Amino acid sequence: MRNYIIKRILLSILILFCVTFIIYAVLRCLPASYVETMAMQLSAAPGAKPYDEWIAQLNASYGLDKGIIAGWLTWLQDFATGHFGDSWKFTVPVIEKFNDVIWLSFVMGAIALVLELLIAIPLGIIAATKQYSRADYAITAGALIGISLPPFFFATLLKLVFAVKLQWFDVSGLVGRNFAQLDSLGQFMDKANHLFLPIVTLVITSIGALMRYTRTNMLEVLNADYIRTARAKGLSESKVIYKHAFRNTLIPLVTIIGGSLPGLFTGALITETLFSIPGMGWTSYQAMVIGDIPFSMFYMTFIAVLTLLSNLLTDIVYAVVDPRVRIA
Amino acid sequence: MAKNKPEGYLSAKESRRISKENRRITNQYEKERKRKKVPESEYMTTMHDPNNAVEFDNLHTYFFTDAGTVKSVDGVTFEVPIGKTVGVVGESGCGKSVTSLSLMQLIQRPQGQIVEGEIRLNIGDNKAYNIAKTPNEKMMNLRGNYVSMIFQEPMTSLNPVFRIGEQLEEVIALHAGEGKDKEAFKQRTIELLKMVGIANSEGVYKMYPHELSGGMRQRVMIAMALACSPKIIIADEPTTALDVTIQAQILDLLRNLKNKINSSIMLITHDLGVIAEMADYVVVMYAGRVVEKGTVRDIFTNPSHPYTIGLMASKPVVGKQVDRLYSIPGKVPNPVNMPNYCYYKDRCEMCVEGCSGAYPEEISLSDTHKVSCYRFYEGKGEK
């Protein structure tokens, strides 16, 4: 097992090199160049230097006068020595900005993931054990609706109904108008109130897929020979389902859940943007639009590392739930 | 309406009508089954002959599928005497397994239902359960305790994520676990593993199913089936998935253990060699019905139903030179649309005049030997 993990980590590092290079190359080729925009603004000021001179000066100071490969190598060197640079857009160190926004996204994502698991898995099991019953049809139809709803549409719908018509929530933002006057409990409740709709959007739009997945797997397991053996032993139906079948359903579920772990940190770009929640997703969107290379590079490298880590973690957890893949 | 349509073609309308009808029928059965507190009088009965472990009496098990009602078991009657082995033979799909699953109440519900007949299970003291009517919570106590089953697929019949010991202990704890602690379970489990001839029983106790070979797994399955000394063991093709040397070992093992705990075996197989070696009585099934039954001697020395004769002719015989083994021509009739005459008529090479009539009644050739065939009807045209 130890050798296996070491091998996987080394492989992950190699993959990471390639990933960062691709990201860097793509970012450099983006039409939205931060430097060009800035040069345009500076040269437009009365009595300023012409655009060409500005851009040459800015390129040099932002390190964009080098080619892509040379630029990437410089970035890599800085990154490896722990210099993550300053964000161009936010004019603070990347790490600082990151620390500011990531926890909000994490809390939101974690609540949404826990709710998703708590709702989707039991519903999937119910749908599978009562296959072709009314409950099954209702759950499956609901899941289909959830899958088919794009988050931007569903979020807008929620806003229309609950924020505009019923006025239970604010349309967007993380805090209300009188946030500063509230005591600490009030501030907490205010934030919770503002996070309600975004979390509902996240849960509803992601629940369907997981539920369908649970149902399919559970059905497959329930038809297996060893389930018949378990029944033939005289075990009660709940023991058969929640002990013998569920352990086997867990195996493929681990893959799905493991794959969604990086999502906790990367933020929900669309949902956060729609609700103007200053989390990771919204911030990275702003950085990307303006062509903020240091921030975007750090953000995407971060995602890549998390994805690789969660894959490794999934494989290890896999071995825990399925004795057949345990590696000596 | 169904002109130029292949056999079994259903229009959408017809199919909808069938599934609606099916739902109505199965819902009715399920409702009856789901009642709470079923009075004991409904499922407690007495054996017709107290020397029998199990009596199948006119059992009908149907599957209500979208293509129509499949009469998998259609009026099966036979007995399993205490301490004896009854072999059930027949080709694939003739209802052997469904008969045995009916005895365990393990048919895929709600599609599959016992619609008529009784299965009486002797539990001693002149009492018997009618399995066809027994409610689920009582059934749980019978399964694994009075009736147990060895399945044909040892490779997939054990749960891959639990250790062998854990899976065996589960049965013991469930039916014989009162007032015993974990240590006692473990001892009993290791004892069982030793009994079925597993040498490294302490080691196997801690292993997972994938670490064992097929033969070993089948031994574990047998240990599991015998754990609570059941009255009847159903062995559903226990050796089909194993190679020949292991087959003989497993059959020997089964026979010895059966004698040790004095239970009966219902042995399902399509291997006549296995039947000849193991069984005391033989039941030959064809298309959901019993076509011939009798002692092993009856069946092997005097096979009477043309289907039995065909089966006998299609097994290889040592010392006999043939170019090509005999095979019965034709195929089993479509289970949805059974003919109203003898099911075997279309494949039969010994038809007599009476064969176009209704399905033949069972007639006795001797005290033990019974057959359903017009060839033995008096005055209906002996050839």
Contact yes or no for A234 and B210 at CB 8 A: no
**Number of other CB atoms surrounding residue B227 within 10 Å:** 25
pLDDT for the residue B40:
82
CA distance linking residue B117 with residue B96, whole number of Å: 16
Interface of A to B at Cβ within 8 Å reads 224-226, 228-237, 244, 247-248, 251, 321-324
Categorise residue B95: left if φ over 0, alpha if ψ from -120 to 50, beta otherwise.
Answer: left
Asked if residues B106 and B124 have their Cβ atoms less than 8 Å apart, the reply is no
Contact yes or no for A324 and B143 at CB 8 A: no
Contacts of B153 in chain A (CB under 8 A): 225
pLDDT for the residue B1:
44
CA distance linking residue A246 with residue A227, whole number of Å: 11
- What is the mean predicted confidence (pLDDT) over B257-273? 87
pLDDT band at B383; cut points 50, 70, 90: very low
Q: Which of B101, B134, B157, B207 is the mutation pick for testing A, counting most A CBs within 10 A?
A: B157
Contact yes or no for B170 and A321 at CB 8 A: no
B346-361: per-residue pLDDT in tens?
888 888 887 888 888 8
- Using the CB atoms, write b or e for B133-171: b if 16+ within 10 Å: bbbeebbbebbbbbbbbbbbbbebbbbbbbbbbebbbbb
Interface of B to A at Cβ within 8 Å reads 104, 106, 136, 140-145, 148-149, 151, 153, 156-162, 170-171, 174-175, 208, 210, 221, 224
B35-81: per-residue pLDDT in tens?
888 888 888 888 888 888 999 999 999 998 888 888 889 889 999 99
Asked if residues A166 and A159 have their Cβ atoms less than 8 Å apart, the reply is no
Contacts of B136 in chain A (CB under 8 A): 237
Residue of A229, A233, A237 with shortest CB distance to B174: A233
Contacts of B175 in chain A (CB under 8 A): 234
Q: Tell me what the pLDDT averaged over chain A comes to.
A: 86
Place of tokens 């062509």: A291
| Rg of the Cα atoms in chain A | 25
pLDDT at A86 over 50: yes
pLDDT at B381 over 60: no
Nearest CA in chain A to B138: A234
Number of A–B residue contacts, CB under 8 Å: 69
Residue of A235, A244, A323 with shortest CB distance to B208: A323
A205-208 long-range contacts, CB within 8 A, separation 24+: A205/A146, A205/A149, A205/A150, A205/A151, A205/A154, A206/A112, A206/A116, A206/A146, A206/A260, A207/A116, A207/A119, A207/A120, A207/A143, A207/A146, A208/A120, A208/A142, A208/A143, A208/A144, A208/A145, A208/A146, A208/A147, A208/A148
CA distance linking residue B184 with residue B190, whole number of Å: 10
pLDDT for the residue A46:
81
pLDDT at B3 over 70: no
Burial label for B319, CB within 10 Å (0-12, 13-18, 19+), is exposed
Contact yes or no for A232 and B153 at CB 8 A: no
pLDDT for the residue B5:
61
- For chain A, the maximum distance between any two Cα atoms, rounded to a whole number of angstroms, is 91
pLDDT for the residue B4:
61
Nearest CA in chain B to A235: B140
The upper half-sphere exposure of residue B382, i.e. CA atoms within 13 Å in the direction of its Cβ, equals 4
Burial label for B211, CB within 10 Å (0-12, 13-18, 19+), is middle
Nearest CA in chain A to B137: A236
DSSP 8-state secondary structure symbol assigned to residue A242: I
Asked if residues B149 and A208 have their Cβ atoms less than 8 Å apart, the reply is no
CA distances A101 to A89, A91, B82, Å, are 15, 15, 76
- What is the mean predicted confidence (pLDDT) over B126-133? 87
Say whether B56 sits in a helix, a strand or coil: strand
Distance (Å) from the C-alpha of residue B174 to the closest C-alpha of chain A?
8
Contact yes or no for B136 and A237 at CB 8 A: yes
B270-318: per-residue pLDDT in tens?
888 888 888 999 999 998 899 999 999 999 999 989 999 988 888 888 8
Contact yes or no for A232 and B104 at CB 8 A: yes
- For chain B, the maximum distance between any two Cα atoms, rounded to a whole number of angstroms, is 70
B83-104: per-residue pLDDT in tens?
899 999 988 888 888 999 999 8
Q: What is the dihedral of CA A226, A232, A233, A234, to 10 degrees?
A: 130
DSSP 8-state secondary structure symbol assigned to residue A126: H
pLDDT at A291 over 50: yes
% of chain B beyond a pLDDT of 70 = 96
pLDDT at A241 over 80: yes
Asked if residues B14 and B192 have their Cβ atoms less than 8 Å apart, the reply is no
CA distance linking residue B136 with residue B34, whole number of Å: 8
CA angle, corner A151, sides to A149 and A157, nearest 5? Answer: 80
Nearest CA in chain A to B104: A232
Contact yes or no for A229 and B175 at CB 8 A: no
Residues linked to residue B345 through DSSP beta bridges, in sequence order: none
Distance (Å) from the C-alpha of residue B224 to the closest C-alpha of chain A?
8
CA distance linking residue B187 with residue B345, whole number of Å: 56
**Number of other CB atoms surrounding residue A316 within 10 Å:** 16
Tokens of A8: 């996987």
DSSP 8-state secondary structure symbol assigned to residue B365: S
pLDDT for the residue B233:
92
What percent helix, strand, coil does chain A show, rounded to 5? 80, 0, 20
pLDDT for the residue B7:
64
Contacts of B145 in chain A (CB under 8 A): 234
Burial label for A277, CB within 10 Å (0-12, 13-18, 19+), is buried
Residue among B303, B307, B305, B239 nearest B271 (CA) = B239
Does pTM top 0.90 for this prediction? Answer: no
- What is the mean predicted confidence (pLDDT) over A175-187? 82
Place of tokens 């001697």: B297
CA distance linking residue A130 with residue A253, whole number of Å: 20
Asked if residues B226 and B192 have their Cβ atoms less than 8 Å apart, the reply is yes
Asked if residues B231 and B125 have their Cβ atoms less than 8 Å apart, the reply is no
Mode of pairing for the β-strands spanning B127-130 and B112-124: antiparallel
Contact yes or no for A224 and B156 at CB 8 A: yes
pLDDT for the residue A185:
87
pLDDT for the residue B176:
78
Cis before A151 (ω within 30): no
A10: CB partners within 8 A, 6+ apart: none
In terms of DSSP H, where are the helices of A131-262? Answer: 134-148, 151-158, 184-222, 225-232, 237-239, 246-260
pLDDT at B2 over 70: no
B169-207: per-residue pLDDT in tens?
988 888 877 777 888 889 989 988 998 888 888 999 999
> For residue B69, which phi and psi values (nearest 5 degrees)?
-85, 125
Residue of B143, B156, B157 with shortest CB distance to A234: B143
Place of tokens 């999502």: A263
Residue of B143, B148, B156 with shortest CB distance to A226: B156
Contact yes or no for A231 and B141 at CB 8 A: no
Give this complex's ipTM. 0.84
Say whether B311 sits in a helix, a strand or coil: helix
What percent helix, strand, coil does chain B show, rounded to 5? 35, 20, 40
CA distances B46 to B7, B148, B150, B169, B230, Å, are 45, 21, 27, 33, 19
Burial label for B318, CB within 10 Å (0-12, 13-18, 19+), is exposed
CA distance linking residue B333 with residue B10, whole number of Å: 18
- Using the CB atoms, write b or e for A113-141: b if 16+ within 10 Å: bebbbeebbebbbbbbbebeeeebeebbe
- Using the CB atoms, write b or e for B334-372: b if 16+ within 10 Å: ebbebeebbbbbebbeebbebbeeebbeeeeeeeebbbb
Contacts of A247 in chain B (CB under 8 A): 159, 161-162
Residue of A234, A244, A321 with shortest CB distance to B159: A244
Contacts of A233 in chain B (CB under 8 A): 143-144, 148, 170-171, 174, 224
How far does chain A reach from its first CA to its final CA, in angstroms? Answer: 6
Tokens of B138: 């009582």
How far does chain B reach from its first CA to its final CA, in angstroms? Answer: 41
B135-169: per-residue pLDDT in tens?
888 888 888 889 999 988 888 899 998 999 999 99
> For residue B284, which phi and psi values (nearest 5 degrees)?
-100, 125
CA distance linking residue A70 with residue A86, whole number of Å: 19
pLDDT for the residue B379:
54
Residue of A232, A251, A321 with shortest CB distance to B144: A232
Contacts of A228 in chain B (CB under 8 A): 106, 151, 157
Residue of B136, B157, B170 with shortest CB distance to A226: B157
Place of tokens 């993380």: A174
Contacts of B144 in chain A (CB under 8 A): 232-234
CA distance linking residue B53 with residue B62, whole number of Å: 24
Nearest CA in chain A to B142: A234
